[in-house]
Amino acid sequence: MNMGIYYFSGSGNSLHVARELQKGLPQTTLIPLVSLLNQPSVVTTGDAVGFVFPQHGWQMPVMVDEILQKFELHSASYIFAVATRGGTPCRAFLEMEKTLNRKGRNLDAYFVLTMPGSTQSLIKTFHEKINEERIARLETEMLTRLKEIVRIIRSREAYHDENLDGVDMPPVNHFMEPLVLSLARLAESNFIFYSDAKCKGCGICEKVCLAEKIKLVEDHPIWQKNVKCLNCFSCLNYCPEMAVQLKSSWYFKSYTPQNGRYHHSQITADDIAGQKISPDPVSG
């Protein structure tokens, strides 16, 4: 009886959740999805398999969906997923079910956890959304919920989280939803990052870049155009000088130059960069 939890994390929220799950679930190995990017297929060995990832544009991150398609899940009699999010509606599990159904599998359990948003530094109301009091409250609520999630997973129960609507948001018009999902994907594929005069050439952005897109040239980061971004926002959130900015575009104004940054307090830049290294031996 062993379990593999496959995770992806940009500002540390999902890695923190994966580690907390591991504490409550014996014989569990954490496997970073980024370390599997170049593998032609991923064959699980655990009798239970979990996925923990951030919600991107109401959905699974593109990279998670791409890797999921390569999974062979014959060993697993129980499959679960946990999405962490900032607070919009969650449609990630619909997508995930579609990919799993094509393999003759489905999600036995899925859960959504609301945490501080890793893109909040883009928006005008950053200081309302990201402040110590709110971060502490969300962490306490998340840990309480996680105890129940651990119990459900330990007993291999079926569970479909019903709290998939937005937090403090009016319900979404179902006719508009496909448009919102497509626009979110379009926006994500066009994010442009740059470093400003505060950059000290420390190289942390290059280290945490999960796509190896950033290269330091003469002590300045270059975002290589020919490398696909994973939209993890680690470069933006882990730069100690807050020198990484997101460029405004015709469809949104970026407030990153005015705002602070967010990453989970228990997850370091080394932890984020560690996702590029496969755990040895890979099991689960």
- Token representation of residue 217: 């040239």
Query: Minimal CA–CA distance to 210: which of 236, 184, 178, 190?
Result: 236
Contacted entry of ligand SF4, ligand FMN, none for residue 200, CB cut-off 5 to 8 Å set by kind: ligand SF4
Query: Minimal CA–CA distance to 262: which of 123, 112, 142?
Result: 123
User: Based on CB atoms, which residue is closest to ligand SF4, 9 or 114?
Assistant: 9
User: Based on CB atoms, which residue is closest to ligand SF4, 25 or 242?
Assistant: 242
Specify the 3-state DSSP secondary structure of 103.
coil
Q: Which stretch binds ligand FMN (CB under 6 A): 41-49, 65-73, 85-93, 124-132?
A: 85-93
User: Based on CB atoms, which residue is closest to ligand FMN, 7 or 71?
Assistant: 7
Mask for 230-249, x = binds ligand SF4 (CB under 6 A): xxxxxx---x-x-xx-----
Contacted entry of ligand SF4, ligand FMN, none for residue 92, CB cut-off 5 to 8 Å set by kind: none
Q: Which stretch binds ligand FMN (CB under 6 A): 10-18, 37-45, 70-78, 100-108?
A: 10-18
260 binds ligand SF4 (CB under 6 A): no
In this structure, what is the dihedral angle of CA atoms 179, 115, 146, 171, given to the nearest 10 degrees?
A: -40
210 binds ligand SF4 (CB under 6 A): yes
**Which residues inside 47-86 make contact with ligand SF4, applying CB under 6 A?**
none
Contacted entry of ligand SF4, ligand FMN, none for residue 95, CB cut-off 5 to 8 Å set by kind: none
Q: Which stretch binds ligand SF4 (CB under 6 A): 23-31, 149-157, 161-169, 221-229?
A: 221-229
DSSP, residue by residue, 42-96: EE--SSEEEEEEE-BTTB--HHHHHHHTTEE-TT-SEEEEEEEESSS---HHHHH
122 binds ligand SF4 (CB under 6 A): no
Q: Which stretch binds ligand FMN (CB under 6 A): 25-33, 83-91, 101-109, 127-135?
A: 83-91
50 binds ligand FMN (CB under 6 A): no
Q: How crowded is residue 73: how many other Cβ atoms within 10 Å of its Cβ? A: 17
| Burial class of residue 80 (count of CB atoms within 10 Å of its CB; 0-12, 13-18, 19+) | buried
Instruction: Tell me if 45 sits within 8 A of 76, measured CB to CB.
Output: no
**Which residues inside 97-116 make contact with ligand FMN, applying CB under 6 A?**
115
Q: Which stretch binds ligand SF4 (CB under 6 A): 48-56, 109-117, 128-136, 203-211?
A: 203-211
193 binds ligand SF4 (CB under 6 A): yes
d(Cα 174, Cα 172) in Å, to the nearest integer? 6
Crossing angle for the helix pair 13-24 and 132-154, nearest 10 degrees? 40
d(Cα 219, Cα 278) in Å, to the nearest integer? 28
**Which residues inside 174-233 make contact with ligand FMN, applying CB under 6 A?**
188, 231, 233
| Burial class of residue 104 (count of CB atoms within 10 Å of its CB; 0-12, 13-18, 19+) | exposed
Task: Tell whether omega for the bond before 89 is within 30 degrees of 0, i.e. cis.
Answer: no
Instruction: Tell me if 231 sits within 8 A of 191, measured CB to CB.
Output: yes
Residues that bind ligand FMN (CB under 6 A): 9-14, 54-58, 84-88, 115, 117-119, 188, 231, 233
Enumerate binding residues for ligand SF4 (CB under 6 A): 193, 195, 199-205, 208-211, 213-214, 221, 223, 229-235, 239, 241, 243-244
